[in-house]
Amino acid sequence: MSAVLLLLLFAADSQTLFDEVVEVPPAEWRWVQVGLKQLPVTIEYEFHVISGDGAVRAVLVNQEGLDDLKKGDREPLGSGAFQKQASFSRLIGVPDEYAVVIENRGPARASVRLRVSLDFSERRVQVRYLSPQRRWAVIGISASVFFGIVLFSARKLLSAMR
């Protein structure tokens, strides 16, 4: 029984960080902080507007981008379309503090269900191949060591037989 639970624990590659309703006032934005230290990881976020007249858009920014938003340096958030619902994923390879930012350009408050999860399946060992030059180098070194051991063993056996 415990072996099955252990296998299930290691089989789960996806981890939900945030799954809640976010209230976004009109012409405002809200964010959810995501700290990523274990890389590579795919961050997946999806949203849908539960209530409100307008559509929203979601953008993934790093800490520097979030600081710019807080200062008011970056307006508008992005070039993506405003939608009632959407889902996105992005492979992250640089450790940093990230944030999923929800922007509401509608005339009324929007209630948005936001789900953010991390997918660690990219962390599995990827099969790689050696270049042809390295393949020949490995073959040459291996053959040299093999024949060296055979020669050494043959000399020892012949001297023991005499």
Indicate if 8 and 86 belong to the same structural domain. yes
Indicate if 92 and 135 belong to the same structural domain. no
Indicate if 16 and 92 belong to the same structural domain. yes
Domain range enclosing 37: 2-123
If one counts the domains in the chain, the total is 2
Indicate if 12 and 81 belong to the same structural domain. yes
- For the beta carbon of residue 56, count every other beta carbon within 10 angstroms: 25
Tell me the pLDDT tens digit for each residue of 113-153: 999 888 877 655 566 788 899 999 999 999 999 999 999 99
Indicate if 69 and 145 belong to the same structural domain. no
Tell me the pLDDT tens digit for each residue of 64-105: 888 888 787 655 556 667 888 888 888 887 888 888 888 888
Residue environment code for 125-149, b if the CB has 16+ CB neighbours within 10 A, otherwise e: eeeeeeeeeeeeeeeeeeeeeeeee
Indicate if 35 and 107 belong to the same structural domain. yes
Indicate if 20 and 71 belong to the same structural domain. yes
